[in-house]
Every structure is written in structure tokens, then in C-alpha cells.
Amino acid sequence: MGVEAAAIGFLVFGGFWFWALCVLLSIILLTCIENKGGIWATLALVVALISLQLWSDVKVFSWVINNPALALLSFVGYFGIGTLWSVGKWWFHVGNIRAKYDARREEFCEANGINPNEAIPANKQAKWQQAIAYLGPIPPSVRRHKTDIYLWIGYWPWSMFWTAFSDVIIAIVRRCYNCIAALLQKISIGRFSGTEGDFAHKPQVNE
């Protein structure tokens, strides 16, 4: 009895080792989600659940066996939330790609003497396609992100947590930048007022 109690105490809910296991599992899952490691994520989760079953008072497998109807309902609810989350995550993902696309296009147009309000001319298309090749297909292809979407659905609590501390923060910082960009540019133009004549004749841009 003493040995059994000691084993349970090793990962007792709320104890140090219980939270250490949760933190370690979360780090592994976040890494796997970001690197499309679905097999490793599942393996890590199964090992963690078995560890809890053997050495803690949180016996997930026993609960599932004793409460099959509630377990099935929980299973359906979990993946239902995950499916809804995958839509939101895709929205964030596509938004990030669009932001990178717009920034790269602005840089490309400036470097090649192209009016940013006009389409990329035919004689620059090959160079432009090469410049944005790292973004993948434009618009993004759902088929090419199948693994990502599976992971977002299956591991939505960790995906949601990471998104809150990455995509959302990046979006807020980007919005702040956009709010002050025009003001900063006005300051730049004002500080260099009177130098316009020094740049009256711009050099030709090589094709």
C-alpha cells in the first residue's frame, strides 16, 4: 500500500512533477505543431497519458472506461472545437502570409522602379515570382497545409495558446506600426525639407 501511495504521489494532481510533466509535454507538442511532427506529438501525448495512468491520481484511461458515453461526448466536443479553431487559425495564417506578401511587393516595387498601385509588368514577372517563392503558392493552398490543419484540429489547445503569444502579438505590433508609419514618414520628410533638388535626376534602374 505504501509503495502504491508513493507511486501515485509522484505525479499527484497539482504537485511539482505533475506540472513539470505538463510543461514538458506542452513544449514538445508546440515544437511538433510548428514543425509538422504529428507522429511525435501523438507519441508524446500517449506517453504522458500512460504516465498519469500509472503514477498519478489522474487516470484518464480508467475514466474513459467507466464513463463511455461522457467520454464519447467529450471526444466529439473536443474535435468539434478543434475544427472551429482550424478555421480561425487558417485566417491568422493566411493573414500573416498576406502581410509578408504586401511587404515584399512594396520592397520589390521600390527596388525596381514600379508604381506600387499598378500590376507587376510582364517583363518583371519572372523576377517577381522568384522574389515571393518562399511564401509558397499564392493564394495559399489548403491541400499543401493538410498536416498543419490536422494538427490544429487535434491539438487545438496548444495551437491556440501559441497563436495567442505569436500571431496575435505580431498582429498587434503590425497594427501599431501601421498607425504611426505615416506620422514617422512625415517627420522624415520634414527633417529633409529643402534637399529635394539634390535628387531631381534619379539614376536609371537596370533591367
> Is residue 7 assigned to a domain?
yes
Three-state SS annotation for the chain: CHHHHHHHHCCCCCCHHHHHHHHHHHHHHHHHHHCCCHHHHHHHHHHHHHHHHHHCCCCHHHHHHHCHHHHHHHHHHHHHHHHHHHHHHHHHHHHHHHHHHHHHHHHHHHHCCCCCCCCCCHHHHHHHHHHCHHHCCCCCCCHHHHHHHHHHHHCHHHHHHHHHHCHHHHHHHHHHHHHHHHHHHHHHHHHCCCCHHHHCCCCCCCC
Domain interval for residue 43: 1-66
Average pLDDT (198-206) is 59
Q: Kindly indicate the confidence band of residue 168, based on its pLDDT and cuts at 50, 70 and 90.
A: confident
Predicted pLDDT at 3: 42
Per-residue pLDDT tens for 73-127?
999 999 999 999 999 999 989 988 998 999 999 999 998 989 988 999 999 999 9
pTM, two decimal places: 0.71
Given a cut of 60, whether residue 205 has pLDDT beyond it is: no
23-79 pLDDT, tens digit per residue, is 999 999 989 888 888 899 999 999 999 988 888 888 889 989 999 999 999 999 999
Label residue 171 exposed, middle or buried (CB < 10 Å: 0-12, 13-18, 19+): middle
In a domain, 165, yes or no: no
* pLDDT tens-digit series, residues 116-161: 889 999 999 999 999 999 999 999 999 989 999 999 999 999 999 8
Residue 23 lies in a domain: yes
Residue 39 in domain: yes
Single-letter amino acid code for the residue at 11: L
71-81 per-position pLDDT tens digit: 999 999 999 99
The interaxial angle of helices 146-154 and 68-111, nearest 10 deg, is: 140
Which pLDDT belongs to residue 6?
46
Whether the predicted pLDDT of 206 surpasses 60:
no
| Residue 11 pLDDT > 80 | no
Tell me, yes or no, whether 33 lies in a domain: yes
Give the pLDDT score at 207: 46
In a domain, 55, yes or no: yes
In a domain? residue 173: no
- For residue 152, tell me if it sits in a domain: no
Per-residue confidence band for 163, with pLDDT thresholds at 50, 70 and 90: confident
Higher pLDDT, 133 or 204: 133
Predicted confidence band of residue 202 (pLDDT cuts 50, 70, 90): low
Domain count, the chain: 1
Is the per-residue pLDDT at 1 higher than 70? no
Residue 5 has pLDDT above 60, yes or no: no
